[in-house]
Amino acid sequence: MTTATQNLALQLPPGYFARRSPWDWLFALFVAVGAGIAFALYSSYMDGYEQAILIGSVPSLVALAWFWRPVRQLTLAVAALSLLAIWLYQAGSGPDLARAEQAFLLKYFLSSQSAILWMSMLFFMATAFYWVGLLSRAGDAFEKLGSRLTWVAITLALVGSLVRWFESYLIGADVGHIPVSNLYEVFVLFSWLTAAYYLYYEDQYQTRRMGAFVMLVVSAAVGFLLWYTVVREAHQIQPLVPALQSWWMKLHVPANFIGYGTFALAAMLAFAYLIKHSAGETRWYKLAPLWLLGIVLCFEPLVFRRGATEAGGSYWFVYFGISALIVGTILFGRRRIAERLPTLEVLDDVMYKSIAVGFAFFTIATVLGALWAAEAWGGYWSWDPKETWALIVWLNYAAWLHMRLMKGLRGTVAAWWALTGLAITTFAFLGVNMFLSGLHSYGTL
């Protein structure tokens, strides 16, 4: 036994591989064969770094699926639907993007835009069912339906992203790229990553009653995505700008958005924590979380309506009406909501774990971004507005974790801090693109 093998055996629990079922090994074989076929067909188009990413994804995906079993079914469903879509594009005389409007399944279900629109609708429906479940007496059935719809939405988000990747190569070899290059694509990434990470905690804590709050931020992201599609026609696949033509993008952007997604999840659970903590209050100033949410939701349409078309502006007025309804529902039903939410200890624990995971990935993303900057611009750090605000985000959560681990930070202070962190992160993600300019200005609204 080699030294590396001995070290691995020491790190894994005793009998780890012996406890794997035949289905686990069959899934591992499926992933390995699939990656092998992809390598045989497309390795000539990849550089050494991209080949390493493909090879490294095999043990990573297998380990993730062994750790959390639903990933196995998700992977198989996404692979089957994506391959069906690719086959439909190639049926007949050869690969043809025009078949997106000719083949029934592509036109209405499996083209990238169709799948992403289905994702959007299903996320909205899942959010509604989670809320009905939280407020009604027959809550478990509605919450279970919300959970199932969330899984389907994640599946279609992944299918839409993979098919969009294929479609970009149908446009042209010089156009093809992984779909994480603009706001449209990364909002899809943010939506399914946040939802998937929430579902993990739903499974681990055996409660679906956090879903109503977490899915609000996912639905808000989907709402922005739809507005951005209408106003900017952002669903159109465009060639990469020179600064993004790098393999670093394939690592930096997903790592960044794991951080963004988990920070958003933590903030929504912090909001739920504050609602539960102040459920019995009648004094208006003690209901600060609700008033703050109302102010943010009222202000947001004014921000995004700036420079929008008439159709885009009308969209935000509808958004405002729905947001006011949500705030009013939470305000008047807060006692019922508080009774059905998990304990303060569970909310606090998930909030902490989410921030810890997000901080780890955001740190990795920041390091990768510095290495990418050195390759693209000749320096690791330039105090560009995006870089500066990324550092502010990192310092904010570093301080939160330090206070948690060293000083035992808990309760409402930790929750308010997590909510403030979401505001800082949102400005770093969107506000910089809207109000500042710099080396990252290719992501403007």
- Give the span between the Cα atoms of 342 and 328, in whole angstroms: 22
Residue 227 binned pLDDT confidence (cut-offs 50, 70, 90)? confident
The residue among 291, 303, 221 whose CA lies nearest residue 263 is 221
pLDDT tens digits for range 102-160: 899 999 999 999 999 999 999 999 999 999 999 888 778 999 999 999 999 999 999 99
**Residue 11 counted as domain residue:** no
**Overall average pLDDT of the 319-338 stretch:** 79
pLDDT tens digits for range 234-286: 888 988 887 777 878 888 999 999 999 999 999 999 989 988 887 766 665 55
The residue among 428, 431, 442 whose CA lies nearest residue 387 is 428
**Residue 4 counted as domain residue:** no
The residue among 196, 192, 174 whose CA lies nearest residue 241 is 174
- Give the span between the Cα atoms of 410 and 313, in whole angstroms: 41
Burial class of residue 121 (count of CB atoms within 10 Å of its CB; 0-12, 13-18, 19+): middle
Return the ∠ at Cα 427 (arms to 371 and 433), rounded to 5°.
70
pTM: 0.90
**Residue 269 counted as domain residue:** yes
Instruction: Please count the helices (runs of H) and the strands (runs of E) in the chain.
Output: 17, 0
Give me the domain span that covers residue 400: 21-443
- pLDDT for residue 307: 46
pLDDT at 28 over 80: yes
The residue among 329, 293, 297 whose CA lies nearest residue 134 is 329
Please report the sign of the dihedral spanned by the C-alpha atoms of residue 51, residue 262, residue 329, residue 208. Answer: positive
**Residue 13 counted as domain residue:** no
Indicate the number of domains in the chain: 1
CA distances to 40, 188, 244, 387, 392 from 383, in Å: 42, 28, 19, 6, 12
Burial 11-28 (b: 16+ CB within 10 A, else e): eeeeeeeeeeeeebeebb
**Residue 5 counted as domain residue:** no
Outline where 278-343 has alpha helix (H): 288-305, 310-332, 334-340
**Residue 238 counted as domain residue:** yes
First to last CA, the chain: 56
- Give the span between the Cα atoms of 216 and 312, in whole angstroms: 21
- Give the span between the Cα atoms of 184 and 168, in whole angstroms: 14
**Residue 84 counted as domain residue:** yes
Residues 82/162, Cβ–Cβ less than 8 Å: yes
- Give the span between the Cα atoms of 76 and 85, in whole angstroms: 14
**Residue 16 counted as domain residue:** no
- Give the span between the Cα atoms of 432 and 426, in whole angstroms: 9
Find all residues with CB under 8 Å of 56, minimum gap 6, and list them: none
pLDDT at 198 over 90: yes
The residue among 182, 177, 215, 185 whose CA lies nearest residue 199 is 215
**Overall average pLDDT of the 396-417 stretch:** 94
- Select, from the ranges 50-59, 146-155, 384-393, the one with the highest average predicted confidence (pLDDT): 146-155
User: Which of 22-36, 185-199, 319-333 shows the lowest mean pLDDT across its residues?
Assistant: 319-333
Return the ∠ at Cα 53 (arms to 49 and 57), rounded to 5°.
170
The residue among 214, 217, 193 whose CA lies nearest residue 202 is 214
- pLDDT for residue 12: 57
| Residue 62 vs residue 444, higher pLDDT | 62
Residue 442 binned pLDDT confidence (cut-offs 50, 70, 90)? low
